Amino acid sequence: MKNIRFIIVFFLIVSSVNAQTTVLKDKGSWLTFTNNFKLSNKFSLSNVTQLRTVDFIQNNQALVIQPGVSYKLNKNVSIGAGYLSYTYYPEGAAHAPIKKYENRIWENLIVNSTLGNLKLNQRFVFEQRFKDVIVQNIDNEYCIDGNSYSQRFRYRLEVTTNLVKLKNNKNIFGKLSNEIRIRFQTGLTEPDFDQNNFAALIGYQLLENSKIWVGYGRYYYKSNATKFISNDILHVTLSYDFDFTKKHS
C-alpha cells in the first residue's frame, strides 16, 4: 500500500505543476483507436488514430495519425520509430487562425517492469517536428508560408493494475499516466517545458485482443512565454491488436 500511495501522490504532484500559471481554460475529448500488428517475436507494426475535440465533442481541434514499427530487445525493453501527421483546426482556447499541419519523425524506447501487482511502463520519445508557419499577407489574410523545425523530448510513466475480476473471467483495469514534454529551440539547446499530460482511466477487456479505456485527463499546454492552457479531457480509447505469429485453424 505504501508503494501505491507513493505513486498516486507522485502523479498528483506532477499533474499540478504550473497550475498557478494557467490563464486559459478548455474542455475537450480525445477519441483514440490503436492497433498493434505482431509480425514475429521481435517485430511489430502499430498505428494510432486520434480525434481531439473541444467543447467535449462539438468541434474538431486536431487529428493525429501515427504509424510506427518496433523491435523487442528483450521481454522488457523495445525500441521503435515512425511518422506522425498532426492536423490543427482553428478551434479551442488558443487556436491558430487557419488550419495548419505538422509532420513528425519520432524514435522511442519503452521499458516495462513490475512493482507488486502494478505494471509499470516507461516511454522515452524523441521527436523531430516540421510545422506550418502562418503569416498575414499584404491583404491581411492568413496563409501558410513554409515551415519551422524543432525537436522535443517526451517522458511518460504509466501504471496499470487489475482492479476487479468479473464473473465472466474478464477484468476491470485501472491506469494512471503522466507525460512531460520538453521542447528544444535549436538542436538540443534552450530546453523549454512544453506540455504535461495526466490521465486516470478505467479499462475493460472486450475480447482477448481488444480493450476499451474511459477516463479523465488534465492537459497543460504552453501557449507562449507567459500563458498556459488547461484542458479537461474525456478520454475514450479502443484498442484492437493482431497477432500474426499465432496459427489459426
Higher pLDDT: 140 or 70? It is: 70
Residue 224 · residue 191 · CB < 8 Å: no
Tell me the Ramachandran region of residue 79: left when phi exceeds 0, alpha when psi lies from -120 to 50, beta otherwise.
beta
What distance in Å separates the CA atoms of residue 203 and residue 115, rounded to the nearest whole number? 20
pLDDT digits (tens, 9 = 90+) for 22-54: 467 888 999 999 999 999 999 999 999 999 999
What distance in Å separates the CA atoms of residue 70 and residue 241, rounded to the nearest whole number? 14
Percent of the chain's residues with pLDDT above 90: 61
Which residues make Cβ contacts (< 8 Å) with residue 155, sequence separation at least 6?
A: 122, 123, 124, 125, 179, 180
Tell me the Ramachandran region of residue 10: left when phi exceeds 0, alpha when psi lies from -120 to 50, beta otherwise.
alpha
Q: Give the range among 69-73, 79-83, 89-93, 128-132 with minimum mean pLDDT.
A: 89-93
Q: Give the range among 4-8, 40-44, 244-248 with minimum mean pLDDT.
A: 4-8
Q: Is the pLDDT of residue 121 over 70?
A: yes
pLDDT digits (tens, 9 = 90+) for 56-80: 788 999 999 999 999 999 999 999 9
> Mean pLDDT, to the nearest integer, of 127-154?
91
